[in-house]
Amino acid sequence: MLAKLEGTTTQVGNFLETKDCLPKSVEKVYQNLIKHIEKQINVVNVAIDQVVSSKESLNQDCRNLQSIPGIGKITAIAILAEIPELSSLESARQLAAYAGLTPSHRTSGTSVKGRSCLSKIGSSSLRKALYFPAIAAKNHNPLLQPFVQKLEKKGKHTMVIIGAIMRKLLHICFGVLKYKTVFNPEILKINP
């Protein structure tokens, strides 16, 4: 819901970019609409904070996720809102499949072998929540740099690398949530 409100704010703001072509009355309506939507976004944010802080285990999970480099409060809340109950999942691979972050191989018999891509059969909201943290991790996270360099040496396209980082981040999130602990960078160094 929050993403839809923010998207609507962007749309209305785009209309206001052409305010020279708009009558003043219409411009005023759009400006009032933006103010109203921003108030509603604040109301939703306060409600989200109240829900997270009202349940200690949820609050702790949110803090633990934020210990992962690149995962902020908004992303942590989005992940917690989108993932299924961890007791229903046996592994991080299942969570990656749920998010649609597993590779989909395109083949037909022995003669046709296409490029692999993300399956995208799964939670698009979860993929969206991980996209920008993956971009930030690709460029700025020293813990993931060996992984990124390995994929670049293999000649992987930038979007393939970002998808792989999204999957890696989701695996890390799974471990943090399953074991109810903060992120430990030593584990990532052992297991690139």
23 belongs to a structural domain? no
Q: Which residues contact 49 (CB under 8 A, 6 or more apart)?
A: none
3-state DSSP call for residue 104? Answer: strand
Q: For residue 105, what pLDDT is reported?
A: 61
Outline where DSSP puts E strands in 26-176. 103-104, 107-108, 112-113, 117-118
26 belongs to a structural domain? no
124 belongs to a structural domain? yes
Residue among 132, 127, 133 at smallest CA distance from 69 = 133
pLDDT tens by residue, 12-54: 888 888 878 888 898 899 999 999 999 999 999 999 999 999 9
Q: Which two tokens stand for residue 40?
A: 């509603």
pTM of the complete model: 0.82
109: domain range? Answer: 55-190
Q: How many domains does the chain have?
A: 1
Q: Does residue 172 carry a pLDDT above 90?
A: yes
18 belongs to a structural domain? no
pLDDT tens by residue, 173-183: 999 999 999 99
123 belongs to a structural domain? yes
* E strand or H helix that includes residue 35: helix 24-54
Q: For residue 16, what pLDDT is reported?
A: 86
47 belongs to a structural domain? no
- Please state, in angstroms and rounded to a whole number, the distance separating the CA atoms of residues 164 and 162: 5
Amino acid symbol at 77 = I
Q: Does residue 142 carry a pLDDT above 90?
A: no
- Please state, in angstroms and rounded to a whole number, the distance separating the CA atoms of residues 9 and 155: 39
32 belongs to a structural domain? no
- Please state, in angstroms and rounded to a whole number, the distance separating the CA atoms of residues 123 and 176: 20
Separation in Å, CA 8 to CA 20, 35, 125, 126, 190: 21, 12, 17, 20, 44
166 belongs to a structural domain? yes
> In which band, very low, low, confident or very high, does the pLDDT at 143 lie, cut at 50, 70 and 90?
confident
Q: For residue 106, what pLDDT is reported?
A: 63
Q: Which two tokens stand for residue 34?
A: 């933006």
